[in-house]
Amino acid sequence: MKVRGHIRDLLAFRGLVPRRKQRIASAPALARDTDPMNELAQCLHPRQQHMTVAAVTDETATTKTFRLVADAQSGTRELSYFRPGQYLSLKVDVGGVGITRPYSISSAPAQALGPDGFYEITVRRKPDGFLTTSMWANWQVGTTVRSSGPCGFFYHDPLRDSGRIVGLAGGSGITPFRSMARAIVQGDMDAQLLLLQGSSDENDIVFDRELSELAREAPDLLRVVHVLSCENPSKPDCERGFLTADLIRQYAGHGDNSFFVCGPPAMYEFVERQLAVLGVPRRRIRREVFGESQDVTRLAGYPAEAADKTFRLTVHVGETTVQAPARATETVLVALERARVVPPSECRSGECGFCRTRVVAGEVYVREEGDGRRAADRRFGYIHPCASYPLTDLEVTIARST
């Protein structure tokens, strides 16, 4: 959508009613068999998508890109369109346990269109990662995958954001920016992107050659600056260290910028302090969903005395009641997954609200930056299990899935 100005946008509504009357007058007398708006909504926001792995590409020693295409035999004929920066919530069975994990789409929206469209997700393997270890061992060409439709709010909105984006990426946090960069260079996104890409060393840079080629193709729209944290980087024209306030100011200046941040949790904490030094207002900062905290005991307000405890979780689903252990340092959602009693979930960050669950008894810790609940939910005892940690024995009620 292109914003042309308040007056021109308001004047455009003058012709709205006459055009609507013309369409009504020319409409057929017979009612439609289907609702085109519901069909469009289902196309743009499918409850689930069935896909097949079409290609696997090694980006670095620890990072792979999986190309996913529609699996027509399972009911998905074409993939849903998305905004650059959105993610897919994968629905995967690992060892008999159904789990969900969000991964940013790293391909451009235009590449998803048509019967030959595809998504790409770029995943970094974690040594102790529950899903990534399984993906590395089992995902190959032909593997079937199930996911949500595109989700999330980490995208550029011209009504909300500046036309000048400063992207602050750490490690595999580069993935949504690759999608944005492609969309900008292809003319599908009206913005400029300055990308400060933080990596540990030269061998750890994801999409190095591709982003460099895009920047050469459209230097007025895209600029990429590499920031390496290793001791003696050999890559020419790179910065050394971290994404500090001085470095951000050096490249971004003092203009009217919107700052988009994506990377590991520790990076969020560091970068937010740097943006605070620069006096950037919160309305100008966009963050990708956090994901579950790697060490909840480090977060402000977490009671240290609870860290080594395991509590009893009692779950009511309709007339069924299940009990399971719940570790204080893992989210309630993880305990529910182990018990094989899982509410719908997408973001695993407390943002989307799909896993909304009512607490009957007990207490939880909810990290401030991951508390996406409405005020009414906080008042009446609802939690988002993906961002809540048990502090006592806990009793919850999950709505029966439809």
Instruction: Note the pLDDT tens digit of each residue in 214-259.
Output: 999 999 999 999 999 888 877 888 899 999 999 999 999 888 999 9
pLDDT tens digits, one per residue of 329-362: 999 999 998 888 878 888 888 888 889 999 999 9
Q: How confident is the model at residue 121 (pLDDT cuts 50, 70, 90)?
A: very high
Report whether pLDDT(6) > 80. no
- Is pLDDT of 294 > 80? no
Predicted pLDDT at 4: 62
Return the biggest CA–CA distance within the chain: 75
**For residue 286, is pLDDT > 80?**
yes
Whether the pLDDT of residue 27 is over 90: the answer is no
pLDDT digits (tens, 9 = 90+) for 199-217: 988 888 999 999 999 999 9
Q: Name the band, by pLDDT with cuts 50, 70 and 90, for residue 5.
A: low
- 2 pLDDT higher than 60: no
pLDDT averaged over the chain?
A: 90
Q: Are 121 and 175 in contact (CB under 8 A)?
A: yes
Residue 3: per-residue pLDDT:
56
Output the six-digit token pair for 120.
């790409």
What pLDDT shows up at residue 185? 97
Q: Which CATH number fits domain 304-398: 3.40.630.30, 3.10.180.10, 3.10.20.30, 3.30.390.50?
A: 3.10.20.30
At residue 254, the pLDDT reads: 80
Q: What percent of the chain has pLDDT over 70?
A: 97
On whether the CB atoms of residues 266 and 201 are closer than 8 A, the answer is no
Whole-model pTM?
0.84
Domain boundaries, the chain: 46-147, 164-287, 304-398
SS3 content of the chain, % helix, strand, coil (to 5): 30, 30, 40
- Residue 268: which pLDDT band, with cuts at 50, 70 and 90? confident
- Residues 159-197: pLDDT tens digits? 999 999 999 999 889 999 999 999 999 999 999 999 999
Instruction: Quote the percentage of the chain above a pLDDT of 90.
Output: 61
Strands 164-170 and 258-262: parallel
Burial class (CB in 10 A: 0-12, 13-18, 19+), 170: buried
Reported as a single tens digit per residue, the pLDDT across 34-50 is 888 888 888 888 889 99
The CATH superfamily label for domain 46-147 reads: Translation factors (2.40.30.10)
Task: Give me the CATH code for the 164-287 domain, please.
Answer: 3.40.50.80
217 vs 19, higher pLDDT:
217
Give the tens place of pLDDT for each residue, 37-95: 888 888 888 889 999 999 999 999 999 999 999 999 999 999 999 999 999 999 988 87
Strands, E assignment, 32-116:
49-60, 63-70, 87-94, 97-104
pLDDT of residue 350: 85
User: According to the 3-state scheme, what is the secondary structure of 22-53?
Assistant: HHHHHCCCCCCCCCHHHHHHHHHCCCCEEEEE
pLDDT greater than 80 at residue 328: yes
Amino acid 401: pLDDT: 63
Tokens, residue 135:
């993906």
pLDDT score for 1? 47
pLDDT reported for residue 106 = 97
Instruction: Output the pLDDT for position 55.
Output: 97
CB contact set of 285 (below 8 Å; sequence gap of 6+): 258, 259, 261, 272, 275
Instruction: Output the pLDDT for position 290.
Output: 62
